[in-house]
Amino acid sequence: MYLTKKHLSRRTLLKGAGISVGLPLLDAMIPAATALAQTAAAPKLRAGFFYIPHGAIMWNTAHGAELDHWTPSGSGADFRLSPILEPLEAYKHKLTSFGYLENKAARNTVHTTTPATWLSGVAPDQGQRAASMAPTVDQIIAGHIGQGTALPSLEVASETTIQVAACSGGGACYYSSTLSFRNASTPLPMEFNPRKVFAQLFGEGDTPEEREALARQTKSILDLISERTHALQRRLSASDRALLGDYLDTVREIERRVELAEQRDLSAIEVPEAPIGELDSFDEQVRLMFDLIALAYQADLTRVASYIMVAEGTNRTYNHIGVSDAFHPLSHHANNVDRLLKLARIQRYHVERFADFVAKLDSIPDGEGSLFDNSLLMYGSNMSNSDRHNNYPLPTILVGGGAGTLAGGRHIDLPERTTLANLHLTVLNKVGLEMRSFADSTGEIAGV
């Protein structure tokens, strides 16, 4: 597609009476005879990582393939979705399922490191008093595609991820409560209060006017801090100046994000009212978090999101789908068929909510396609058979068009015990990072 309009600056403002109003993307903002892929309208990849605890009902229970509710049947492009994955049938042509993946980094840890090692592929050093692991895939991607947005990445959950059953004996929950490590020593909290997530995206305040006023006030405070700290720096020793420098780097990063937030164009976005807080209905809470991620993608406030759909070790019940048992105790199914079928119902429910999110992304235009066409979404768990707390094979799918980088429409049976890091490496290179290795990877996965 080529456009031949006169070129109007993307930052053009309508000015008058002391106000300035930003404009949405217009054809006139695209240089004449320029391919769409080379303009501001070029598709921007969104990446998302969606985690479920306690694995999935696969072929590795005592009942074998007969009770496997996760693994698609058949292989290649002729595969058929399983009962758990069936809600994604309309998007099967952009779905890739993987068989025989393993993550050795999570071996023999029960719940304590399962979430954090899902995207790192590296076992943490639990001999350290503080967190010590490795940066996760989502944060590496955020460093590559997320620096031009107000939030380089967004980390959310449907409930508190601090669960007694999942934390380590020493009380540290670094590895059981988050998917995301910015670097080896910096775990990122997963926010489960929708109002706080909304504030991250749009600022504090219930109305646009309140949010604008608070943003101006925040910026003026940051400016004041910068001036005073620079004056103080001249009177400090070298070691104190180094400490102060680290602090100033943090302030400057906040200022940069405030400036990016001020430049965002929300003219085509219907911003909802700020949520009151965590919702009483878990189903509505799950849906709201997905809606906030979709809104963040649509407004280009972030391009990378990670979502713990329910916490590791949770005692959450699912009465709204007819399962009154608490999730974590139920996950110790002891190969009881009734318990296995209840678990499969819970696992299908989460895929249903994920499928609703996919449908929403597919309904939102983005460039020449939809947000779904320009998304790369990884969904799965870092546990396999929850009764045994093992990590092979891992239930894992990729969904989306990946801005033209994902093939989709197939199930890939990999060699037995293929490291999950091979999929991580594949995803990182689909994003454009051109990495040769990641964690214990042995190479990319072909045909993705």
Say yes or no: 113 and 186 in one domain. yes
Say yes or no: 161 and 299 in one domain. yes
Q: Which of 9, 22, 6, 20 is nearest to 300 (CA)?
A: 22
For 386-429, how does the pLDDT look when each residue is reduced to its tens digit (9 = 90+)? Answer: 999 999 999 999 999 999 999 999 999 999 999 999 999 999 99
Say yes or no: 408 and 296 in one domain. yes
- Report the CATH number that the domain containing residue 164 is assigned in CATH: 3.40.720
Say yes or no: 341 and 298 in one domain. yes
> Does residue 446 belong to any structural domain of this protein?
no
> Does residue 357 belong to any structural domain of this protein?
yes
Say yes or no: 2 and 107 in one domain. no
Structure token digits, residue 240: 């104190």
- Do 114 and 312 touch, CB atoms closer than 8 A? yes
For residue 213, give its domain range.
Answer: 207-272
Say yes or no: 99 and 121 in one domain. yes
Q: What is the 3-state secondary structure of 204-217?
A: CCCCHHHHHHHHHH
The total of structural domains in the chain comes to: 3
Determine the residue type at 174.
Answer: Y
Question: Which residues have C-beta within 8 Å of that of residue 129, sequence separation ≥ 6?
Answer: none
- Examine the fold and report which residue of 255, 272, 289 is the final residue of a domain before the chain moves on: 272
Say yes or no: 377 and 254 in one domain. no
> Does residue 200 belong to any structural domain of this protein?
no
Mean pLDDT of residues grouped by 10 in the chain (448 residues)? 41 38 42 49 88 97 97 88 98 97 91 94 89 96 93 95 73 84 94 89 64 53 59 75 65 56 64 80 95 93 97 94 96 97 98 98 94 98 96 97 96 97 98 96 97
Residue 425 CA to residue 247 CA, distance in Å, equals: 33
C-alpha separations of 7 from 12, 22, 23, 28, 54 in Å: 11, 16, 14, 5, 54
> Does residue 202 belong to any structural domain of this protein?
no
Say yes or no: 64 and 126 in one domain. yes
393: preceding bond cis by omega (within 30 degrees): yes
Say yes or no: 254 and 240 in one domain. yes
Work out the number of other CB atoms within 10 angstroms of the CB of residue 239: 8
> Does residue 441 belong to any structural domain of this protein?
no
Say yes or no: 16 and 97 in one domain. no
